[in-house]
Structure 1
Amino acid sequence: MASFIIEGGCRLKGDITPQGAKNEALQVICAVLLTPEEVIIENIPDILDVNNLISLLGDMGVKTRRINENTWSFQADEVDLTYLESPEFLKKSSSLRGSVMIIGPLVARFGKALLPKPGGDKIGRRRLDTHFIGIQKLGANFEYDAEQQLYSITADKLTGAYMLLDEASVTGTANIIMTAVLAEGETTIYNAACEPYLQQLCKMLNRMGANISGVASNLIRIQGVKELGGTTHRILPDMIEIGSFIGMAAMTGSELTIKDVAYDDLGIIPDTFRRLGITLERSGDDIHIPEHKGYTIDTFIDGSILTIADAPWPGLTPDLISVLLVVATQAQGSVLIHQKMFESRLFFVDKLIDMGAQIILCDPHRATVIGTGRRSMRATTMTSPDIRAGIALLIAAMCADGKSIIHNIDQIDRGYQNIDVRLNQLGANILRMN
């Protein structure tokens, strides 16, 4: 298990370019299974989750070829369906949460898929009901082997259907769309997720020959087609990494420019950081964060304590809640952080409390942060429980006095590409120990 040793108190300075979006990459890479023709995807992040998915597709018979550092070619013209029944597939796919999105493409094109109960972050229950119910409505049959924890999905014929999703699940919507594009007739999906990364998936599928309308809304209509072709697709920059860099600059009192952020696709993220008192300056498609000697949390108009809560897009993405929480610890003022989706995601705050942060964990979903301004945090030893909490702990360690240690940084590597190397180039002092 690898660890980071972080010397706190180092200020950053310079420019940094965000990686390609992890969440988009997992969707569009699974979509290559929908066609036997070549698909080229650019700006793929070199991170653990994405690399494991590419490796899994390669083992399934998909021809994978790395063109350059962040561009890959995929061709799924000789998929080996028997591999799905092998112990190797079950082991690999069960450790990768994103593997659930191979179900839609496999059922749509081959009429068959197998999937063990997927793993991933330990942030609470993450239901698959939205995925399965939607694909069932298109004509697929599901069986679950409780002993092996294995889902078996088959479909002799897929037919378009109307469905109202029980939740605006991003991966659930993606999975259903990838199933419906090859179904016969029209599919209507209401209460669909509409994040920029899902919009990217729809645009890619349309270039491949799909007929999807309503992109960027919560009402999506799909006219099924018989086959899809190849395309070239470029992944957006990762909005979660952009938000992490904004918080990192503010907490360490650093001057930082984040390059090529696709600003118009960031939604309310910049304004949310502004409500914490952080100054962001837009220059073209870049964000400049000047040096902050301090920042003060806003209040509501009537003077009551600010609440920051996650919500389906165009609301605030839940993946930034951990970062916003840790940034608030060094602000002046108080804020209620409400994480609605995952009941275990806030449990990392005990480590921040050990470091001197003033936080009240109200319940599994809510925490009140009492910011006391530039108050020194104590260095400590901690373990990363998931990707987003991991980066929040790294930000806290960079702000603390002395040396901190973070264990289980494989969790951070799952979502952030060479984060130690890139931050060290800006002035951080992070040592990786294997």
Structure 2
Amino acid sequence: MATFQIEGGIPLKGEIQPQGAKNEALQILCAVLLTKEEVRIDNIPDIVDVNKLIDILSNLGVKIRKNGKGSYSFISDDLQLDYLESELFKKEGSSLRGSIMIVGPLLARFGKGYIPRPGGDKIGRRRLDTHFEGFIKLGAKFRYNKEERFYGVEAPNGLTGTYMLLEEASVTGTANIVMAAVMAKGKTTIYNAACEPYIQQLCSMLVAMGARIKGIGSNLLEIDGVEELHGCTHSILPDMIEIGSWIGLAAMTKSEITIKNVSWKHLGLIPSTFAKLGIQIEKRGDDMFIPAHRDGYEVQSFIDGSIMNISDAPWPGFTPDLLSIMLVVATQARGSVLIHQKMFESRLFFVDKLIDMGAKIILCDPHRATIIGHDFKSQLKATVMSSPDIRAGISLLIAALSAKGTSTIHNIEQIDRGYENIDGRLKALGAKIARI
């Protein structure tokens, strides 16, 4: 198990190029299974979760060629479907939640798809019902081996388009159902579909491959099935979660940082939500400049003077993946804020580590925490901690970079799952961080 040692309290400075979006990459990589023709994908992040999925595709028989940094070509013309029921796949698939999204493409193209119960972050119960209820409505038969915790869907006679109202606007569920429906017979209508930029990107890629999809960017998708799809070239967006992480890091460490090529139009409420904490953000073309907040930053209040409440919601609401960042940044704000994590019940449990560092946080329940900011009058103290998941891990890293003294973070493999070469990129900005 690897460890970071961080000497905190050092202002950083420089430019950073955000990596490709992790959540988009996991969807896009699964979509290559829909065609036997070559698909080229650029701006793929070099992170653990994405590399695991590439390994799964390779073991499934996908021919993979690396064109250069972040660029790969995939040809899925001779797949080994027996791999799906192998012990190797049960091991590899269960370690990556994103592996669930290979089921939709395989079901569409081959009439069957299997997956072990996938893993991922321990941030509470994350149901798979949306995925499989969608497949069943398209005509697939579902089976679940409880002993082996193994899911399967089969449609030997193909899928048939239908109308469905999703119980929840699940991003991965929507992606999986869309990839299954693009080759179904007839028309599929998906209402309450997720409409995150990642889903928009996936749909645009599928259209480039020959799919017929209307309503991209809305929560009502209409899909007319086609018999086959073709190859294409696709480039992944910059990771908006990483961009938000760099914003929080800059404010918390009083650093002057320019984030390059952020694709402003895909950031949604992220800039304005950070502004609620008093963080200044400047738009310079497609770059984002965060000035050094040497005088700190002050939390806004609502019009009636009540305490600021920041909560998550499905897109175009504020993404839940950044609430951990908002929470840690609020610990040094001027004022108080209530963080309300509505979508996952265990994502706030890392606050005990921040409290150990001297943060003033009241954990109200598994979903809500009240933070009373220090206004930098009292610096966080260095400590020893462990990363419980990707987003909590990067939040603890930001806290350590702002703290007085040398902190140790164990289990940094969790951070590596979502952030490419994070220690090397921090060093380039002047951080004192060592990987042990």
TM-score exceeds 0.5: yes
SS of the equivalent of 1:153 reads strand
Question: How far apart are the structure 2 equivalents of 1:182 and 1:10?
Answer: 54
Q: What's the CA shift for 1:178?
A: 0.2
1:97-135 Cα deviation digits (max 9, x unpaired): 100000000100001111110001000000000111011
Whichever residue aligns with residue 109 of structure 2, its letter is R
**TM-score, scaled relative to structure 1:** 0.99
Whichever residue aligns with residue 169 of structure 2, its letter is A
Q: 2:426 aligns with which of 420, 423, 427?
A: 423
| Correspondence list, 1:100-249, <5 A | 100-156=100-156, 157-249=158-250
Identity %: 68
Please, which runs of 5 or more residues in structure 1 have no aligned partner?
A: none
1:135-177 Cα deviation digits (max 9, x unpaired): 1100111111110000111112200010000000000000000
SS of the equivalent of 2:65 reads strand
| Correspondence list, 1:274-423, <5 A | 274-293=275-294, 294-374=296-376, 375-423=378-426
Question: How far apart are the structure 2 equivalents of 1:365 and 1:64?
Answer: 42
Q: What's the CA shift for 1:282?
A: 0.3
1:176-209 Cα deviation digits (max 9, x unpaired): 0000000000000000000011100000000000
Q: What's the CA shift for 1:409?
A: 0.4
SS of the equivalent of 1:179 reads helix
Question: How far apart are the structure 1 equivalents of 2:108 and 2:161?
Answer: 12
Question: 2:135–2:153: 8 Å Cα contact kept in structure 1?
Answer: no
Question: How far apart are the structure 2 equivalents of 1:254 and 1:84?
Answer: 48
Q: In the alignment, which residue of structure 1 is the partner of 2:268?
A: 267
Question: How far apart are the structure 2 equivalents of 1:95 and 1:292?
Answer: 40
Question: How far apart are the structure 2 equivalents of 1:11 and 1:88?
Answer: 46
1:234-291 Cα deviation digits (max 9, x unpaired): 0000000000000000000000000000011100100000010000000010000011
Question: How far apart are the structure 2 equivalents of 1:159 and 1:123?
Answer: 35
Q: In the alignment, which residue of structure 2 is the partner of 1:254?
A: 255
Whichever residue aligns with residue 20 of structure 1, its letter is G
SS of the equivalent of 2:337 reads strand
| Correspondence list, 1:50-129, <5 A | 50-129=50-129
Question: How far apart are the structure 2 equivalents of 1:135 and 1:430?
Answer: 46
SS of the equivalent of 2:349 reads helix
CA RMSD after TM alignment: 0.5
SS of the equivalent of 2:102 reads helix
Q: What's the CA shift for 1:61?
A: 0.2
Question: How far apart are the structure 1 equivalents of 2:86 and 2:160?
Answer: 30
Question: 2:35–2:228: 8 Å Cα contact kept in structure 1?
Answer: yes
Whichever residue aligns with residue 214 of structure 1, its letter is G
Question: How far apart are the structure 2 equivalents of 1:347 and 1:64?
Answer: 40
Question: How far apart are the structure 2 equivalents of 1:28 and 1:141?
Answer: 25
Question: How far apart are the structure 1 equivalents of 2:86 and 2:180?
Answer: 24
Question: 2:140–2:159: 8 Å Cα contact kept in structure 1?
Answer: yes
Whichever residue aligns with residue 188 of structure 2, its letter is T
Whichever residue aligns with residue 380 of structure 1, its letter is T
SS of the equivalent of 2:350 reads helix
1:194-226 Cα deviation digits (max 9, x unpaired): 001110000000000000000000000000000
SS of the equivalent of 1:202 reads helix
Whichever residue aligns with residue 356 of structure 2, its letter is D
Q: What's the CA shift for 1:10?
A: 1.4
Question: How far apart are the structure 2 equivalents of 1:117 and 1:49?
Answer: 16
**TM-score, scaled relative to structure 2:** 0.99
Question: How far apart are the structure 2 equivalents of 1:125 and 1:74?
Answer: 33
Question: How far apart are the structure 2 equivalents of 1:110 and 1:12?
Answer: 52
Q: In the alignment, which residue of structure 1 is the partner of 2:5?
A: 5
Which aligned segments of 4 or more residues in structure 1 are displaced greater than 3 angstroms?
none
Please, which runs of 5 or more residues in structure 2 have no aligned partner?
A: none
Question: How far apart are the structure 2 equivalents of 1:81 and 1:176?
Answer: 20
Question: How far apart are the structure 2 equivalents of 1:197 and 1:10?
Answer: 35
Q: In the alignment, which residue of structure 2 is the partner of 1:41?
A: 41
Question: How far apart are the structure 1 equivalents of 2:366 and 2:132?
Answer: 27
Question: How far apart are the structure 2 equivalents of 1:205 and 1:134?
Answer: 19
1:368-427 Cα deviation digits (max 9, x unpaired): 111120020010000100000000000000000011010000000000000000010000
Q: What's the CA shift for 1:64?
A: 0.8
